[in-house]
Structure 1
Amino acid sequence: MFIWIEGFLSLKRVDPPLEPGSPYPPASAIIAAYLPNEAATILDTIDAFLKIDYPNQFQVVLAYNSPVELPIEKTLQEIQARNPRLSLLKVLNSTSKAQNVNAALDMIGGEFVGIFDADHQPNPDSFTRAWRWLSNGIDIIQGHCVVRNGDASFISRTVAVEFEVIYGSSHPGRTRWHQFGIFGGSNGYWKTELLRKTRMHGFMLTEDIDSSFRALEGGSVILSDPQLFSKELAPVNLPALWHQRMRWAQGWFQVSLKHFWTGLRSNKFSWRQKLGLFWLLGWREIYPWISLQIFPLIAFWVLKYHGVDRLNWLIPIFVLATLFTFSVGPGQTIFAYLVAAKEIKDHPKWFWLYLLASMLFYTELKNIIARVAQVKQVLKEQQWKITPRGEGKPAE
């Protein structure tokens, strides 16, 4: 039921005020990169950031770590020499995105800052739109991440539509329903002082989600804007997708263990927000296990009534519950299509393929990943595996 409510709420477009609440201040962008993994894409990323249209000082900090000197570093230094907007920061002894972001906080001069992964290419007006939110009572604004290599493989096409489900429909709808959003790690904009106070915790696999809840527990306001676009690369094969989603799932489980009870006890949250916390940090974690219970239940009935052929599959409540459950996937896909970014919406076939994949195997694959991730956390197995950047021309 919650998923349907989120979907309907996401259909209404909500834009920031036409004018900022205060004049545009200096702004900064932090691009966090593990350079050996980003060498093939980082120049395109830098080019996109240097084309940002902003009416005041704009600073781009590339905060990166690399175990060895790379030829691309010389090229980056040459770009920095030509363009005063770009600042390079090699973070020695860093082993995480969190360390890179925290190190960059010491050198940024903007009143607000956007955080990005190294494959992101934000729209030229992103920072002006973000400030129209931040200057009118919002502390953190999360944008819409759009996959730009959807034509590279079946996996990347699936993720392209999934991101429309997440960033186009679920996040905005959930923000309006539960009255709080989350920072998703990239294409998110913070008031600088809040980010300096919160910082990123490198011991969390999803330091972005953890920082979101720490900010929320401090009374901050987080919003999701599906019209605040940035393009990124999706995994192009199953192993890359598996490792990425395993980290996400285990990281979310860490956050749930850390913030579930704290959030429910907090006087900073309304009852509606606590309902959202229960949904995000409670139900979402136990559902992958609950979804398996239909199998022992059917097995019990088969044993009790001495055969599959003796079961009554047309019990009204069972039929209605089954139909409602199976309607969620098509419903999410329709909502995603209605609110999708144009470059993804121009490929309706991708949405049909996503729907088919979700109904046949993709949803259960994500449930399997969630269950394995929880077991890994219980066994204290924690390993960060770099997600290789996908390739392929962007979808037109």
Structure 2
Amino acid sequence: MYEVLSALLAVSFKFAFYYPIVMSFFWIAGGLYYYLRRERHARGRTDPPPLESTPFVSILIPCHNEGDNVRETIASAMAQRYPAFEVIAINDGSGDDTGEKLNLLAAQYPSLRVVHLDRNLGKANAMRMGALAARSEYLVCIDGDALLDEYATHWMVWHLCSGARVGAVTGNPRIRNRSTLLGRLQVGEFASIIGMIKRAQRVYGRIFTVSGVICAFRRTALHQIGYWSDSMVTEDIDISWRLQMNHWDIRYEPNAMCFILMPETVRGLWKQRLRWAQGGVEVLLRHTRDLVSWRRRRMWAVLGEYLLSLAWAYMMAFIILLWALGLVFELPEQLRVPTLLPSWHGVILAMICLLQFAASIVIDRRYETGVGRNYYWMIWYPMVFWLLSFTTTVAAVPKALAKRRGTRAVWVSPDRGLR
């Protein structure tokens, strides 16, 4: 028995050590390949490719208690360098002055329409109402606290017009608030982790999720799959999987930039990442059975990558559990974990992590000046965010399993950080 557990512990240590290294090299290789093939000689952000026609576009902005941010958000949406668009703001049962401010803005901007919903029914429902009210086949969706870059709509519409099977385009969110260590770490995270992963996933053809804060959709594709699901805690992951399972393509466009607010407290960050992790598990539970089909084989890489991340989180939890038990009980030598402090393993992991951040700076310097200033702080990323990642994943699985099927996911106002 002890021999089996000892062998399991050895495998756990090797997997916990090698998994982040292998995935980092995979993301670096995929990200650099994408950059060299599609970005290095591409047009700059302010010089988007020409469109044969400029179809009418609807920009959807679901809002819940966004009174502090909605003026900036609407102003950035109205400043799009695109000739034909409307903006639809959906006030989803806000308890603050969001509705009053939107009405005043509607009087200021003729192309702004406001839809008022009398109670909080969740972001997915607000997006669906906005899509039904829209007059366009192409929908650009941003959050109520996001500042849309002036060329973002053009870049995303260019993708949607480039192929009949392009169902969605995910943009490039950037962090606005960076006054604290957590804020600076997230600047590097969105560049070197999230952006790099999306590039690598595009190389093998499928993306785990669009960025819900900035994305564009073809309404025909949404109509085919039944729009957003209001029972999923992360509607962006769910709709990404359903679109791709129905053979719609999702593109990534780093020039479609959007500046967002993120949590800068441990409590706010924990709640946000727990919701993300729970959303991933919910999608896995709902759709894995449907993916076991040869016709959907292109989603297998995304599924496998996510399953490995779940396994890594629980391997880490298993190792920490053995270490904690060893502090209280006398365990056999084969099962003893002497310390959790990083030794040479930690040095190697930190070096690989910094290599990934360096590669991301090479790629991302064209989209945002000065991003390298946050490089110094990224040495703390493995300690802070890897710990957060595996703990939220471990907590999310039972939370998702305990959730009653069909429960509506409603708005919960997040931590917007320090401004």
Query: Aligning the two structures, in what range does the TM-score lie when normalised by the shorter sequence?
Result: 0.7 to 0.9
Gap change, CA 1:304 and 1:89, over 3 Å in 2:
same
Q: How does 1:353-368 map to 2 (within 5 A)?
A: 353-356=377-380, 358-368=381-391
Between the two proteins, what is the percent identity of the paired residues? Answer: 18
Which of 99, 112, 115 is the matching residue for 2:125? 99
Q: How does 1:141-220 map to 2 (within 5 A)?
A: 141-151=169-179, 153-180=180-207, 182-198=209-225, 199-220=227-248
Q: Which residue of 2 aligns with 1:304?
A: 333
Aligned length: 375
Q: Which residue of 1 aligns with 2:400?
A: 377
**Is the 1:240–1:388 Cα contact (8 Å) retained in structure 2?**
yes
Shift of 1:161: 1.6
**Is the 2:63–2:94 Cα contact (8 Å) retained in structure 1?**
no
Gap change, CA 1:292 and 1:91, over 3 Å in 2:
same
Measure, in 1, the Cα distance between the counterparts of 2:336 and 2:204. 45
**Is the 1:180–1:221 Cα contact (8 Å) retained in structure 2?**
no
**Is the 2:92–2:121 Cα contact (8 Å) retained in structure 1?**
yes
Which of 12, 16, 26 is the matching residue for 1:5? 26
Measure, in 1, the Cα distance between the counterparts of 2:357 and 2:292. 31
The answer to whether structure 1 residue 292 and structure 2 residue 322 are counterparts is: no
Shift of 1:266: 4.6
SS at match of 1:98: helix
Q: Which residue of 2 aligns with 1:136?
A: 162
SS at match of 2:213: coil
**Is the 2:234–2:280 Cα contact (8 Å) retained in structure 1?**
yes
Which of 32, 42, 53 is the matching residue for 2:81? 53
Measure, in 2, the Cα distance between the counterparts of 1:379 and 1:89. 34
Shift of 1:371: 0.6
Letter of the aligned partner of 2:313 in structure 1?
P
**Structure 1, unpaired ranges of 5+:** 312-317
- Residue by residue over 1:15-49, the C-alpha shift from the partner in whole angstroms, topping out at 9 and shown as x without a partner, is 58975564110001100110x2x111110101111
SS at match of 2:119: coil
Which of 255, 259, 271 is the matching residue for 1:227? 255
The answer to whether structure 1 residue 387 and structure 2 residue 417 are counterparts is: no
**Is the 2:206–2:244 Cα contact (8 Å) retained in structure 1?**
no
Q: Which residue of 1 aligns with 2:8?
A: none
Q: Which residue of 2 aligns with 1:330?
A: 354
TM norm structure 1: 0.85
Shift of 1:90: 0.8
Shift of 1:82: 3.0
Aligned residues: CA RMSD:
3.0
Shift of 1:114: 0.8
Measure, in 2, the Cα distance between the counterparts of 1:181 and 1:224. 11
**Is the 1:145–1:167 Cα contact (8 Å) retained in structure 2?**
no
**Is the 2:69–2:145 Cα contact (8 Å) retained in structure 1?**
yes
Divergent runs of 4+, >6 A: 296-302, 305-309
Gap change, CA 1:27 and 1:308, over 3 Å in 2:
closer
- Residue by residue over 1:223-275, the C-alpha shift from the partner in whole angstroms, topping out at 9 and shown as x without a partner, is 112222111111121111111111111111101111223223251333xx422
**Is the 2:198–2:207 Cα contact (8 Å) retained in structure 1?**
no
Q: Which residue of 2 aligns with 1:315?
A: none
Measure, in 2, the Cα distance between the counterparts of 1:201 and 1:339. 35
Gap change, CA 1:208 and 1:51, over 3 Å in 2:
same
Which shows bigger deviation, 109-118 or 167-176?
167-176
TM norm structure 2: 0.80
Measure, in 2, the Cα distance between the counterparts of 1:59 and 1:106. 14
Letter of the aligned partner of 2:219 in structure 1?
T
